[in-house]
Amino acid sequence: MGNNLLDKAKELKNLGARYITTVAYLNPDTGDKIVVKHIFDLKGKLEELIYEAEFSGALESIKEVYPAVEWSEREVMELYGIEFSGYPEEEKNLLLSSGGHPFPLLEVEKQKLLKKKHG
């Protein structure tokens, strides 16, 4: 998988950082990768763990260190199509298990970038 998200999460945990949320979006400058940011509160200041993933790429889950990340990671998987390690197939959905367009936010952001490029 080639990233050390878990180690960095452990370092933050040891410093006393509290997990807040995970944000993902298609890189608006290049349009070729998905930016994933885990956001933490460290004594009132925000800290971010930032990674970029290829389309359908995989990232290491930090659920082992911060259990509350589970729903956020599952949400990123279903909205953007990237994978976090350690989730069985039936847990890859969270909000859209009843159906709908796959990876809706990835699609809308792709369209925005195309529109910007070609007018």
Partner 1 sequence: MDKNKRFVLPIGPIHIALEEPIQLRLETEGNIVKNVQLKIGYVHRAIEFLLANKDFYQGIIVVERVCGICSHSHPTCFVQALEQIAEIEVPLRARYLRTLIGELERIHSHLLNTAITCEILGFKTLFVRFMNARENIKDLMEGISGHRGNYAFNTIGGVRKDLFEDEIHEVKKSIDSLEPEIFQLIETVLSNSILISRTKGIGVLTYQDAIDLSVVGPVARASGVDLDLRKDVAMPGAAYEFLEFEKVVEKDGDVLSRVKVRLLEMVESFKIIKQILKDLPKGTILTKKFVPIPKGIGISRWEAPRGGLIYYCITDGTDIPYRVKIRAPSFVNIYALNRILINQDVADVTLISGSIDPCFSCMQR
Beta bridge partners of 51: 36
Angle, in degrees to the nearest 10, between helices 104-118 and 69-80: 50
CB of 66 to partner 1, least distance (A): 7
Structure tokens at 34: 């998905």
Closer to partner 1 by Cβ: residue 2 or 118: 118
Measure the CA angle with vertex 42, ends 5 and 38; round to 5°: 35
Judged by DSSP in three states, 72 sits in helix
Chain residues binding partner 1 by CB under 8 A are: 18-21, 23, 25, 28, 39, 44, 46, 66-68, 70-72, 93-98, 104-105, 108-109, 112, 116
Beta bridge partners of 48: 39
CB of 64 to partner 1, least distance (A): 11
CB of 108 to partner 1, least distance (A): 5
Closer to partner 1 by Cβ: residue 2 or 98: 98
